[in-house]
A and B are shown apart, each in its own frame.
Chain A
């Protein structure tokens, strides 16, 4: 079964400090992993996905298959990074031949001035 775990409900850091939002997953095949961000009163939006290996707004995430992790990192946090962050996994379920996107429970990042 697909599962995504984000162990931290809240992460509070000061501006300029490094940030790491943890994400671990469980999936038997080759997963597609994503980070989504939801700013206050805004639509859920894609931050980055592992397949593109890009850096968005200074955030990066590396897929570690050995540790089944996809942690989100940023070397210097900014106040505008304060938001809700969701790690998500898209995988093929052979039981019903479908793709599903499963989310973690989310981590609220609070960047203090």
Chain B
């Protein structure tokens, strides 16, 4: 069953800790994206990657980091520098004219 898998679905972390969100796809898509979803603000682009070993900052990259060592994987690290990390995070990949989305990870920092 092909698709994008984000894990875990819910994640709790203490303030000041780094946390890494997983995004894995078996669709053989080259491009992958990370979005943050907040109420009233829609989805904002954090980072994106067109090919392996290459990625670019999106509109709200501060306090986040990514890696793209494998085509299938695009993990997002929320660092302690991110001032308001509690949010819903969505991963996506691109095929032709369309995009596929994961089911998301809700991160709560306490």
Seen from chain A, the residues whose Cβ lies within 8 Å of a Cβ on chain B are 6, 9, 32, 34, 43-46, 49, 51, 86, 90, 96-106
Q: What total of A-B pairs shows CB separation below 8 Å?
A: 52
Seen from chain B, the residues whose Cβ lies within 8 Å of a Cβ on chain A are 31, 33, 35, 40-45, 48, 50, 56, 58, 90, 92, 94, 97-99, 101-104
Given the interface pairs A49-B97, A51-B97, the reply to whether A100 lies near B43 with Cβ below 8 Å is no
A105 and B92: CB pair below 8 A? Answer: no
A97 and B40: CB pair below 8 A? Answer: no
Distance of B41 from chain A, by nearest CB (Å): 6
B50 and A97: CB pair below 8 A? Answer: yes
5 CB contacts below 8 A, A to B, read A32-B97, A43-B103, A49-B98, A90-B99, A101-B92
Given the interface pairs A51-B97, A98-B31, the reply to whether A105 lies near B42 with Cβ below 8 Å is yes
How long is the Cα–Cα vector from A103 to B98 in the complex, in angstroms? 14
How long is the Cα–Cα vector from A28 to B94 in the complex, in angstroms? 21
Partner of A44, one of B41, B90, B97: B90
- The residues of B that contact A96 with a CB separation of less than 8 Å are 56
A100 and B42: CB pair below 8 A? Answer: no
Distance of B96 from chain A, by nearest CB (Å): 10
Given the interface pairs A99-B31, A100-B45, A103-B42, the reply to whether A46 lies near B56 with Cβ below 8 Å is no
